[in-house]
């Protein structure tokens, strides 16, 4: 039996990595889960919709497909993300803008689209996947960390804008530390070893450990959590 009210959940970037494992964990809890896929194939066993989060039309079409299949979206997990790392003097403006567009502006697109029904239903949960790096900064990631810092402002403004005693709508951020996915596999070995040394738990996260925080934020028990940034980072961000 599910331990929480089953909801319709829309997870962006659910074709692999943190998004896929999170979608699977939410489905195990009894939620009706739809995931977006873009350049990867749709995942097996979940309702998949093709969506490029950098396109407002594509986001709109994906929501419409999910609404037709499951009904109004009640929980949105804005997870899709990319990196295009390089030091600032070498960073092309397009690389900066692409990362902002995919990691931050997409959060605006999906939350705006989801908000219509949430307001009508007087219920909604916005869950954004941020990053521990968005609070600390990382050399070579001016674009990525700016996007992840921006996600916190986006979530907190939504948290204030929608909050009311008449509406159970919340917005929160899960801020993972380094997590073993394809994204992390792009980082060179030497840097990985250096990073491990400064993480108090001295290991990287598994996607399941990020998914657990999202599952909790989607649960009935998290209804009073609003505007929070929940670190799942082995302790690297303590104090931020």
Binding site for ligand NDP (CB under 6 A): 12-13, 15-19, 36-40, 51-54, 79-82, 102-103, 129, 131, 176, 178-179, 181-184
Q: Which is nearer to ligand NDP, 89 or 200 (CB)?
A: 200
Q: Cα–Cα distance between 90 and 3 in angstroms, integer?
A: 50
Q: Which is nearer to ligand NDP, 19 or 124 (CB)?
A: 19
Cβ at position 47, least distance to ligand NDP in Å: 15
DSSP, residue by residue, 156-183: HHHHHHH-BTTBEEEEEEEEE-SBSSHH
Q: Which is nearer to ligand NDP, 5 or 202 (CB)?
A: 202
- Work out the angle between the directed axes of helices 17-28 and 207-218 (0-180°, nearest 10): 50
Collect all residues with Cβ–Cβ distance below 8 Å to 61 and sequence separation of at least 6: 49, 51
Residue 144 among the catalytic residues: yes
Out of 37, 70, 108, 144, which one is annotated catalytic?
Answer: 144
Q: Which is nearer to ligand NDP, 133 or 226 (CB)?
A: 133
Collect all residues with Cβ–Cβ distance below 8 Å to 239 and sequence separation of at least 6: none
- Nearest Cα neighbor of 91 from 102, 104, 100, 103 is 100
Q: Cα–Cα distance between 128 and 119 in angstroms, integer?
A: 18
CB 205 within 8 A of CB 178: yes
Cβ at position 17, least distance to ligand NDP in Å: 2
Cβ at position 239, least distance to ligand NDP in Å: 18
Cβ at position 179, least distance to ligand NDP in Å: 4
Active site positions, annotated = 144
């Amino acid at each position: 039996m599910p331990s929480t009210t089953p909801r319709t959940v829309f997870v962006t970037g659910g074709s692999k990595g943190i998004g896929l494992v999170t979608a699977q964990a939410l489905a195990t809890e009894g939620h009706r889960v739809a995931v977006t896929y873009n350049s990867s194939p749709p995942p097996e066993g979940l309702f998949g919709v093709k969506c490029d989060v950098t396109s407002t039309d594509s986001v709109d079409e994906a929501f419409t497909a999910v609404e037709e299949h499951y009904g109004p979206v009640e929980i949105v997990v804005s997870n899709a993300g990319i990196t295009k790392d390089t030091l600032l003097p070498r960073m092309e403006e397009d690389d900066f803008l692409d990362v902002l567009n995919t990691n931050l502006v997409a959060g605006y697109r999906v939350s705006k689209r989801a908000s219509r029904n949430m307001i009508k239903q007087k219920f909604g949960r916005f869950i954004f996947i941020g990053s521990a790096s968005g609070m600390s900064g990382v050399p070579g990631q001016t674009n990525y960390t700016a996007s992840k810092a921006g996600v916190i402002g986006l979530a907190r403004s939504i948290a204030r804008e929608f909050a009311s005693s008449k509406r159970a709508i919340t917005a929160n951020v899960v801020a993972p530390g380094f997590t073993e996915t394809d994204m992390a596999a792009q980082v060179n070995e030497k840097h990985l070893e250096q990073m491990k040394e400064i993480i108090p738990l001295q290991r990287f996260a598994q996607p399941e450990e990020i998914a657990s925080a999202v599952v909790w934020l989607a649960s009935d028990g998290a209804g009073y959590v609003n505007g929070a940034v929940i670190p799942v980072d082995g302790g690297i961000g303590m104090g931020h």
